[in-house]
Chain A
């Protein structure tokens, strides 16, 4: 298991990287943390002829507050997300979910941008981007554009990025007031791919009723699955266990489409989705109540 030969470039600025991408559009792969790409290359499932390594582009590694959002450079390591204090304060859902991404050895190298662009349906970060209404900044030599997370994920390992574009920045809005969060998943072993997982957000209005909710699932279809109908069913209601039961029913019966794998049947995944939805909503609602 050794990678096939490739031409290697290691730009030290984003401009240089974009030039290389435009010269080699279609044949080049970006090497970010390499925690998914290199295994695929070792298996020769992927054999890019050109590899553009972003690990020396220091300007792509940062976490900073701007206005009412946090901007994260695409080459920021997952381990830095995990320990960042402004993320913990502003977007605790992300801080709580990051330790579920593989193992520390992987998070030390893996990047936020790499995981998002890889768009693995079983990965945590794409789910979190959808749940948090993140916006993604793509650049090519001609300019830049912002894409909503909603429009970014286009199916199994597929995104809206053009062949000459590089994801450079992620903008994540602060959680709004009276918002509670929860991230839960079930994996055979800590750090393994989860059989099922959910990111939940609940925002209450001033009277304590549900103003809005978000429920996004991993390993539940061919990309991160946004259960909009289930989330909508909570709006304007007083939250309680009976309501969560029926919301979980909508998710499990109508909104997810799990495929099963060697560790689980689709039926078991549906069962897990139901259990996790109820638990996550309960925790998110409780936290939203506490923040009132």
Chain B
């Protein structure tokens, strides 16, 4: 018999009540149950970083958490990044997203949501990072297109934008 559990979870400031099977991964829950397909699924064993989301504000792999474990917790996906809560502009882009646009920080875009979700808390902890620190922060996210150079440029640009906004 398949076990079914009711969970109450807040995703991008919206509350959801859903029935889930315990083995359902949070990544699949977000994509298939909530239709939030911005969270990408790459390797499904915690190596590539494409599925990175914020769990109570901390970056984590959504493919290594079961949806039942999110019961009562607060999840943010890339769809929620433009919220003013994260320093974004309603209906617009988060300064980090805007910087990726301007600095050409992506090619195919598959890894981008995970990279953004890794970098938002990183830039909060470290608003003025060096190139080495940026590359270190990116080490848990695989990108096979860019060679990372333009991603690093985008992060530098974003850190300037965010510091400017917070003045």
Q: Mark A108-135, 1 if CB is under 8 A from B, else 0.
A: 1100000000000000000000000000
Q: Is the CB of B140 within 8 A of A38?
A: no
Q: In residues 24-61 of chain A, which contact B (Cβ within 8 Å)?
A: 34-35, 38-39, 41-43, 51, 53, 55
**Contact A38 B139, CB 8 Å, known A51-B22, A109-B64:** no
Query: Which single member of B23, B59, B137 contacts A108 (CB below 8 Å)?
Result: B59
Per-residue contact bits, chain B 104-141, to A (CB 8 Å; 1 contact, 0 not): 00000000000000100010000000000000110110
* Known A-B contacts A105-B61, A108-B55, A190-B139; A55 and B45 likewise in contact (beta carbons under 8 Å): no
A3 interface residue per 8 A CB criterion: yes
Query: Are A190 and B65 in contact, with the CB atoms below 8 A?
Result: no
A228 within 8 Å of B (CB atoms) = no
In the assembly, what is the distance between CA of A168 and CA of B64, in Å? 22
Contact A104 B23 (CB under 8 A): no
Q: B88 interface residue, CB < 8 Å from A?
A: no
Q: Does B153 contact A (CB under 8 A)?
A: no
* Size bin of chain A's contact surface: 20 to 34
CB of B25 within 8 Å of the partner chain: yes
Bound-state CA distance A51–B3 (Å) is 12
Task: Select which of A8, A189, A191 is within 8 A of B22 by beta carbon.
Answer: A8
When C-beta atoms are compared, the residue in chain B nearest to A99 turns out to be: B136
Given A42-B45, A191-B140; A7-B3 close (CB under 8 Å): yes
Looking at the complex, which one of A42, A104, A190, A191 makes contact with B25 (CB distance below 8 Å)? A42
Q: When A5-B2, A10-B68, A108-B59 are in contact, do A39 and B46 touch as well, CB less than 8 Å?
A: yes
A51, closest chain B residue (CB) = B22
User: Would you call B149 an interface residue if the criterion is a C-beta within 8 Å of the partner chain's C-beta atoms?
Assistant: no
Complex: A190 Cα to B136 Cα, angstroms:
7
> Given known contacts A39-B45, A109-B61, is B5 in contact with A8 (CB within 8 Å)?
yes
Q: Please name all residues of chain A whose beta carbon is closer than 8 Å to the beta carbon of B137 when the two chains form the complex.
A: 104
B5 and A105 within 8 A (CB): no
Interface centre among A5, A53, A109, A189 (most CB of B within 10 A): A109
Structural contact, B139 and A35, CB atoms closer than 8 A = no
Interface size class of B (residues with CB under 8 A): 20 to 34
Q: Does A79 contact B (CB under 8 A)?
A: yes
A41 to B65, CA, bound (A): 11
- A105 near B59: Cβ-Cβ < 8 Å: yes
Tell yes or no: A186 within 8 A of B by CB. Answer: no
In the complex, A241→B74 CA distance in Å? Answer: 53
| A64 vs B150: C-alpha distance when bound (angstroms) | 44
Residues of A within 8 A of B122 (CB): 104
Shortest Cβ distance from A40 into B: residue: B45
Please list the residues of chain B having a beta carbon within 8 angstroms of any beta carbon in chain A: 2-3, 5, 21-23, 25, 28, 44-46, 49, 52, 55, 58-61, 63-66, 68-69, 118, 122, 136-137, 139-140
Query: Can you name 8 A-B pairs with beta carbons within 8 Å?
Result: A8-B66, A10-B68, A38-B66, A39-B44, A39-B64, A104-B122, A109-B60, A109-B65
Nearest first, the 9 closest Cβ-Cβ pairs linking A and B are A103-B140, A8-B22, A39-B45, A190-B139, A108-B58, A38-B64, A3-B23, A1-B44, A105-B59
Where the two chains meet, the residues of A that have a C-beta atom closer than 8 Å to any C-beta of B are 1-8, 10, 34-35, 38-39, 41-43, 51, 53, 55, 79, 102-106, 108-109, 189-191
